[in-house]
Amino acid sequence: MDVFEFYSFFLFGVFAAYLALFFMAVKYSDRTFASVFSLICLASAVYVLGAALQFNSKSVEEILFFQKLKYFGAALVPGLWIVFAYRVHSGKKMSLAMLLCVFSIPALVLFLVSTNEYHGLFYSGLKVFQNGEYLFSRRATGPLYVLNVAYAYFSLFYCLYFFSLVWIKSRFRLNSPYFLLLAGQLLSAALFGLYLAGMTPLWVDMLPVGYLVRAVFCAVAIFKYDVLEIKEIYNKEIFSEIKEGLMLVSCDGLLIDYNRSARTVFEWLNEKNRGAPIHSLDSRFNVSTGAKNFDIGVGRGDEERIYEFRLTELKEGRKTAAFLYIFLDVTDKQRLIEKLRYMADHDSLTGLFNRGRILVEANRLLSARKLEGRIFSICMIDADHFKNLNDSCGHIAGNRMLCELAAVFRRIAGERGIIGRYGGEEFLVLLPDAGAKEAAETAEKLRAGIEAATVDFDGKTLQVTISIGVTSAGLHPFEEETIHSLVSRADRALYRAKNSGRNRVCVFGEDDL
């Protein structure tokens, strides 16, 4: 087999490869770019078939006929690549006006080639020579032939530019589909340049090889990487108008798309960052190791908004095609929940824990005592003669005094103790990791602080004193302690303090049994 026969078989092999790629694209036509890619493969197949038949022509008439057939594919390929590159970069389909503009020159080239024998504007002459059993031809270019070459170069550089942009956005990742698209264009450009520069044997047309290289790289990018398969599904008006924020991310973490609601929340959601790793844009997002459900705060202080996120897998059969972040502004709901929780746990007047919550905290300390042997103490506090204050000055004055008591308790014991309003003018102060002696010292500070405190009300200076009963967990190691028994002990110590003249601290002891 000589080189000419080998080249003939090679051209038919390239034609078969293009047909295989075409049928594969038709089979997977539901994928975003498969329809455009199938047209590229079909047009390239027509071009290569024409080149193969022209190479095997036995007469001038056959050469001219297959020359025209070849251009019915070759003229359309550059325009189809422009359409493909536009969709990859923008994620949108071209409008009808844009398509008419893109294919105006291919249409003109087809017309010029089909009617060339009448005007000679595309080819001005044809020279035929024989080499063995093969008939070769050289064509002298006409004045309008430059349109075809210029358009082919424009298409090539257009694709190189936009594929470079999307590859740069992916942070120059070599395992990116955009790198494959760019590499295919560069290799095809190199072969195209060698052919136009006359650096290949006259009989070797490198365009079919360049077209095949470009198509193979493109096929791998489309059918291997999910990022090109699903994008179009979300480039619909309904995606953009959904009130929930939506961010579409590929399996390898590249930002594919987002809707208007998402763009108003995150400034980095813009055209510049499409195709970039989302983790590099915001470290809180990671499809491989991140949480599936989480909250994110955006803004500071009173301007902070809270968003509830859910990460959902998008399946294509059994395969994960991409990930979708769905999020809602839950700021008002969160604040309402926090407010309800606060109201459920806190006294509305003083802001201290209420009876239910302070007993929950006491149970927690008691559990730690049983499991870890940690000690704690309880101070039960009662305001002396508080009923007299209410009767003489009114309940508003009494409420003011209760708030002052709470403020003094926080100032003295707030950093270490847990404080709650037990009921009326009674309070509980829990002191974790404090024994009876240390608790008594803290209780004395509380008593002295209240004795020195005053409240100005309606031209009067109001004062109260407090009595405090103190007990500690673990005083009776052989007795089963409960919160009820501990509070009862503190209450008995408080009763003794009141019976001893009030305004004093008493620690639970044998006299209280």
Q: What is the pLDDT of residue 384?
A: 95
* Confidence band of 404 (pLDDT split at 50, 70, 90): very high
**pLDDT tens per residue across span 259-300:** 888 988 998 998 888 888 888 898 888 887 767 888 888 887
What is the number of alpha carbons within 13 Å of residue 222 lying toward its C-beta?
28
Round to whole Å and give the CA distance between 351 and 105.
79
Q: What is the pLDDT of residue 272?
A: 84
Q: What is the pLDDT of residue 235?
A: 46
Phi-psi region of 160 (alpha: psi -120 to 50; beta: other; left: phi over 0): alpha
Round to whole Å and give the CA distance between 378 and 212.
84
Give 493: exposed, middle or buried? Use CB within 10 Å, 0-12, 13-18, 19+.
buried
Whole-prediction pTM: 0.51
Contacts of 261 (CB under 8 A, 6+ apart): 242, 243, 244, 245, 246
Mark 243-255 as b/e (b = at least 16 C-beta within 10 Å): eebbbbbbbbbbb
Residue with more model confidence, 425 or 236: 425
**pLDDT tens per residue across span 408-453:** 999 999 888 999 999 999 999 999 999 999 999 999 999 999 999 9
Helix (H, G, I), strand (E, B) or coil at 354: coil
Q: Which amino acid is at 206?
A: M
Instruction: Identify the weakest region by mean pLDDT among 164-173, 237-246, 377-386, 468-477.
Output: 237-246
* Confidence band of 234 (pLDDT split at 50, 70, 90): very low
* Confidence band of 165 (pLDDT split at 50, 70, 90): confident
Is the pLDDT confidence value at 238 over 70? no
Going along the chain from its start, the domains and CATH numbers come out as 3-229 (1.20.1070.10), 233-333 (3.30.450.20), 346-507 (3.30.70.270)
Q: What is the pLDDT of residue 200?
A: 63
CB atoms within 10 A of CB 400: 19
Round to whole Å and give the CA distance between 451 and 335.
38
Do 417 and 431 form a contact (C-beta atoms < 8 A)?
yes
Task: Taking residues 34-57, report their average pLDDT.
Answer: 87
Contacts of 201 (CB under 8 A, 6+ apart): none
Q: What is the pLDDT of residue 468?
A: 96
Residue with more model confidence, 503 or 183: 503
* Confidence band of 224 (pLDDT split at 50, 70, 90): low
* Confidence band of 228 (pLDDT split at 50, 70, 90): very low
Round to whole Å and give the CA distance between 270 and 382.
63
